[in-house]
Structure 1
Amino acid sequence: MKKILLSFLLAVPILGYSQSYQVNLQGQKQTAMGGAGTGVALDEAAVFFNPGAVSFLKQNGVQAGVSPIFLKAAFRENGSNVTEYTKDKLATPVMGYGVFGSPESRLRFGLGIYTPFGGAVHWDPNWTGKYAVTSLDLQAIYIQPTLSYKITDHIGIGAGLVYALGKVDLKRAVPITLNDGTSSTAELKGTSANFGWNAGIYVETISGVTIGVTHRSQVTAKVKDGDAIFNVPDALKSGFPTKFSANLPLPATSSIGLGFHPSAATVIAVDANWVHWSTYKVLAFDYNNNSRIPNTSSPRNYHDGAALRAGIQNQTTKRLALRAGAGYAFTPVGKGYVTPEVPDANRLLLSAGLGYKATDRFSVDLSFLYEKVMSRNETNIETGLSGTFKTVAYIPGISLSYKW
């Protein structure tokens, strides 16, 4: 039993720190274009995609949007013919941006609020992997004030300070029977507040091709005095921890993007992202009560993960723009480390959307993203959970914007 309890606590840190829960929904136009946006100056979401491009925006503006995530994961245990599914649970990543300053000035100001990590996974409380996880709710919101400066008429640089607010709520069954015959449960809840940064350069070439390079720093989410809530028989409670502390890495991302402009009405964007997951080697946790569970250190040995994205926008009429895109992301989760919290594998992304300019100042943008996570059969080296995972996500989105 003690080994299973140790596995429970060792697995907690991977919540949402995999590409499975790295949310790439920071702008509706960019989402509809496969998530590409580093090498183009489309709108206020450039605060996130490339701060260097903010100084090239032709108008000031504000926008706000949301992208509800409908996630469905399935698991079939090896040797079984029964497939188990997650419950329907909605996660709602939000984003909001503002760009200020005279468009004729070389210096522009921006502010972004967005959700780069988040998710919601809810299995049946009595499913096969209940000792691994029964539910997970995760959210990380970044607040980013930004400065962008046009060095020349064709080169812009920008940088922003990131203030990251995070929270997580994880529930699992514990292999101890309560008086009513049900399994004991454990819930881990924690919050964090930490800093990072986002910087980029944007270049307009003589040929008309635009180039963007960005780097978003790692944010180390430091959870102190998180709540460990164990529902176990009263006679055992004194031996279980009530608090935990941990340092959890949200990895850095480096991106390069190209923008092609075959006509005044058409923009093609291509991005390559490199996520620095290789910094995620070992997870260490401190608990305030070590009677039953000692402080733990668990290897993860992730490798870096990459994603390729491409999209197109066509200004079909004065008021209507149509968009489409595709992408492919490579998982950073190595063999033996796939879990029900992060049932990750290589994934295919397909997207589409449109924008409608209701007036000269007000517009609406819609997007839809489909993600197919490839089927993957794994045996977890810590919990021993062995079987095949399949996951799909359907993500509609909407944003409203006002320009001046």
Structure 2
Amino acid sequence: MRGRTLRAVDVVAEALERIGRADPVLCAFLEVWAEDALRRAGEVDARVAAGERLPLAGVPVAVKGRHGLRAAGPLLAAGGVAVGATSVPGPGTPWQTWGLGAHGRTVNPWRADRTPGGSSAGAAVAVAAGLVPLATGSDGAGSVRIPAAWCAVVGLKITGGSLPSRDRTGLAAPGVLARTAADAAAWWAAVRPAGADRAPAALPVSAVWSPDLGFARPDPEQVALARSAAGRLADAGTVRLVRPSRPPALLDPAPAWSALRTPGADRSGAGRVRAGNDRRLDALFAGADLLLTPTTPTAPHGHEGPGDRYSTALTWAFNVSGHPALSVPAGFGADGCPAGLQLVARHGREDLLLAVAREAERRGATA
């Protein structure tokens, strides 16, 4: 589009046609803004014709929930075109892995009898199904990374507090779901705050593997898929796996996370857990650049709910600590459902996460 071989209005019209054809089955969208999107695409074409260099010129973007457009300003300024609001859990939904779209319950594009994960449910489905190349998300306990893993896309949660968030607890951070790490990097380039770390990554970088963070109970298949993905990263020369003197062992963040989310709760225990894990993570990152884990403890569950294990077991520690984290596709289980590998870095090192994932994709090391 920047080279004027395509028009933004045509690209957006094609995206709207795909949404119209697929969404009655997938239920990924709450609202589709066809008229506004085509108008905005025409404005992008006019800006390009006037000589503006727009890094996301005409790229169709989906935003999370009906209020997601409020945070999409940098994307629109870069030439992106918001085409609609993606599904999130409905009112009173007990499990945040559900999504409820305009046409009904959001389904996993790989198996309709399974959940896509959540709460950025529709965002992950819209990207995985090729309806849009980018969808915004927010991640308060794993709400970007879990659906990314279960829909076989890339999901980035940025460093806590680095961009504005409506969550007063400080647990939630903005994020993105994309088909590739390069697309996620394009989103980050458009929204990154002034002064964010731009240090180039010299690959391979050192990485520590942990199947369970010392407290979780992941299924063996999820561990095996993620460990194989970590091995592929090492074989491709993007990471160098190192063995620490002690296996990573964090404190279970579940009580701390719950206390921080509950008005009036005693937060003294949460403070101790947060401080304890911060010390352990500081020590880990003093000796390695990345921490690698499975993204989820289980495969996607059915629409009736997750049973007795939260899908957040391996993700929400990094909402409490604020570290940036990225989920990349790790392969498929025996049930045909995707799994993810989670990469965690020091605060402010989103560029490192994206550089490793981009190079792994280039070398064919991701699923």
Q: TM-score, normalised by structure 1?
A: 0.23
**Which structure has the larger Rg?**
1
Question: Which structure features the higher share of strand residues?
Answer: 1
Greater relative contact order: 1 or 2 (C-alpha under 8 angstroms, separation 6 or more)?
Answer: 1
Question: Which structure features the higher share of helix residues?
Answer: 2
Q: TM-score, normalised by structure 2?
A: 0.25
